[in-house]
Structure 1
Amino acid sequence: MWREVEPDQRYEVQVDGHKVVAYGFGEGDEVLLCLNGGPGLPCDYLRDSHGWLKEHGLRVIAFDQLGTGASDRPTDKALWDITRYVAEVETVRQALDLGRVHLLGHSWGGWLGIEYAIHHPQALKTLILENTAGDLPHLSLELERLRSALGSETVAMMQRHEAMGTLEHPQYQAAITLLNHRHVCRLDQVPAPLNRSLDDWNMGPYVTMQGPNEFLYTGNLKDWNRIKEMSGFQMPVLITTGQHDELTPACAMRMKMALKDVELHVFPNSSHMPFYEEPQAYFPVLLDFLRRHRS
């Protein structure tokens, strides 16, 4: 159902002396502002799967977060902080004169979206939390559960390499490859936009904020938990996840229980990328939610 279309606009926004590049599709007052995952990934995979939604009366905006894609790539680790990224999102929103937006955050973009909604609720029409979590210590427990399905000997091997710092060992990497196929993208052929993002991953923000891989959280976000703050959200919220997602349905349920005006959809044949793995189910859910909450 999705297809790649060329952006209609390309913008350059100054964020604290650095260049951030944004992309626009379509026009109008119903703006879908997309925050992609990573950290450290270019926005290609989310931008190019959602840009075609301009055909449904939406203005779709995505941007390469600082450190990624066509944006500047400074090396100061102090920049890789969620509070600074919140300010970056607000700078982009104001610079492009987007007004109140439908904010869509996928994976790490969901954590960023939650943090943004805490500090700038007046800027949001709705919040769409895709394949994400509001409580990372709880997520770490869920990741341990997913790892355990590999078997006790494999888990022990992984723990040994993690303790020794030998994460590049072929044994460890083989286990991560299997986990990624089970819980990140289950497709035999990885879509081209996702490959482009993965091939240009800046590991600086990723390691600093999250950790060395998708199943080991050691970065400055490892203790991040905003479930309590989410209970104060007044905007309508859509939560989506995949049955096999690394950020599990249990993580989605934890957010749902905290929220007032919320819908939750679990896609049974997806892991972390339902817009690629199960687009025929995903896009109707997203479009129906946006249709019902147009201003």
Structure 2
Amino acid sequence: MMPKPLLAAALALLPLAAQAQTAALPTDPAADWSVPTSEHRVAVEGGKVWVRVNGMIGTGATPVILIHGGPGGTHVNFGSLLSLADQRPVILYDQLDSGMSDHPEDPANWRPERFVAELEAIRVALGVARWHVIGHSWGSALALEYAARYPEHTASAVLSGTYISTPHWITGTNLLIRELPDDVEATIRACEGPSPPAAEVCEPATAAFYAAYNGRPDRPAPSPEMRAYRARYGGKGFNARLYNAMWGPTEFRASGSLATYDATHLLTQVDGKRILFVIGQYDEARLDDVQDFVALTPGAELAVVPGGSHAFISERPEVAEAILRDWMSRIDERESAGR
């Protein structure tokens, strides 16, 4: 999953919010995706989060913010989507305790409602009236919660690599385990049992699950630009402690605070015509489950990335970009027409 209100404390911090540093602009804001137009430290409940913007807020089409997975992941896998900045401002950020943001390492901050309030703090700090929110994996849950809580500020929400319910996710990943070779399935089941075998037995089986559904072996190698970007903007990287505390040890076992999380009820509270689900053909987010989510969201759309797993943004970047570009352009046209 690589992946409620208690907002008063976070919102009280908003007047402090943004301390911006403007970088040297490339001629084309999408030409060198390692160079942001501006960087910010935004005050949120628990600390400050790092935010980067490509493009100028207030110019171009409606801005978009990309919400990374985890919990505990970082923004870096969205690097290829900075090409969207030729049409609209693109906002990336690291959630608190991840990447370039502050790391207070306080479990009291590890609550979905605080992460949603974090998004709203960024919007206010940047002066964005309305934006597209694109969440991947755990970020999908935040995008859905945000769209339900702040419809007036949400042009659209994309639920990518869709995680919005732990019970659905765990049921789905256990069905996916059954599709692995018999010996791999048997090993995973043993490793999940009360007397698991040694790590050297379990780790290859877990890796086989990930190779099938979360980063397939034929995915492109990281480009030189991506490697340079990780070195420059990786910060403290992925936060395993946060991931384990909120989720658990593997993608198919939830033992943390999100073990009972379920936001499917919010699907009836959002404008379905402004919701897009996107998954990979071989995604951990199973097609059957996501089709059920679509059915609960009248007017919503579904896109499936051919050949992609849960990591389809890096595996099929051109396809992922085209889907998102088309979706946001159509929503913008609809808004311009007052529909």
Task: Provide TM-score, normalisation by structure 2.
Answer: 0.80
Deviates more, 1:275-284 or 1:224-233: 275-284
Aligned match of 2:45 in 5, 16, 33? 16
1:22 Cα deviation after fit: 0.2
Rounded Cα–Cα distance in structure 2 between residues aligned with 1:231 and 1:33: 23
**Paired position in structure 1 for 2:301:** 263
Partner Cα distance (2:197, 2:97) in 1: 24
Query: What does residue 254 of structure 2 align with?
Result: 217
| Structure 1 residue aligned with 2:177 | 147
The reply on whether 1:52 has 2:83 as its aligned counterpart is yes
Q: 1:281 aligns with which of 319, 322, 332?
A: 319
Q: Which amino acid aligns with 2:35?
A: E
1:207 maps to which residue? 244
TM-superposition CA deviations, 1:105-144 (whole Å, max 9, x none):
0111001111112222221011111111333211111100
- 2:109 corresponding residue in structure 1: 79
Structure number, greater radius of gyration: 2
Shift of residue 255, structure 1, vs aligned partner: 1.5
Task: State how far apart, in whole Å, the 2-side matches of 1:269 and 1:259 are.
Answer: 26
Distance 1:232-1:17 versus aligned 2 partners, 3 A rule: closer
Instruction: Check whether the contact 1:15–1:88 (CA below 8 A) recurs between aligned residues.
Output: yes
1:132 aligns with 2:157: no
Counterpart CA distance in 2 for 1:198 and 1:185 is 22
SS in 1 for 2:82: helix
Please, what is the CA RMSD of the aligned residues?
Answer: 2.5
> What is the CA–CA distance in structure 2 between the aligned matches of 1:165 and 1:231, rounded to whole Å?
42
Task: Specify the alignment match of 1:238 in structure 2.
Answer: 276
Q: Is the 8 A contact 2:144 2:266 kept in 1?
A: no
8 Å CA contact 2:145, 2:266 repeated in 1: no
Residue in 2 that maps onto 1:170:
200
2:124 counterpart of 1:94: yes
Contact 1:3 1:49 in 2 (8 A): no
Give the drift of 1:152: 4.6
Between stretches 194-203 and 183-192, larger displacement belongs to 194-203
- Tell me how far apart the structure 1 counterparts of residues 236 and 221 of structure 2 sit (CA, whole Å): 12
TM-score (normalizing by structure 1): 0.91
Q: What CA distance in whole angstroms lies between the structure 2 residues aligned with 1:69 and 1:165?
A: 35
Q: Secondary structure at the match of 1:45?
A: helix
Aligned-residue sequence identity (percent) comes to 28
Q: What's the CA shift string for 1:205-229, capped at 9, x where partnerless?
A: 2111111122212221122222222
Please, which runs of 5 or more residues in structure 1 have no aligned partner? none
1:246-295 per-position Cα deviation (integer Å, ceiling 9, x unaligned): 11212321220111221111122111122222233322221111111114
**By how many angstroms is 1:151 displaced?**
4.1
Q: How many residues end up aligned between the 2 structures?
A: 293
| Contact 1:18–1:72 (CA under 8 A) maintained in structure 2 | yes
Matches of 1:198 and 1:245, distance apart in 2: 28
Q: Secondary structure at the match of 2:108?
A: helix
8 Å CA contact 2:100–2:236 kept in 1: the answer is: no
Matched residue of 1:293: which SS?
helix
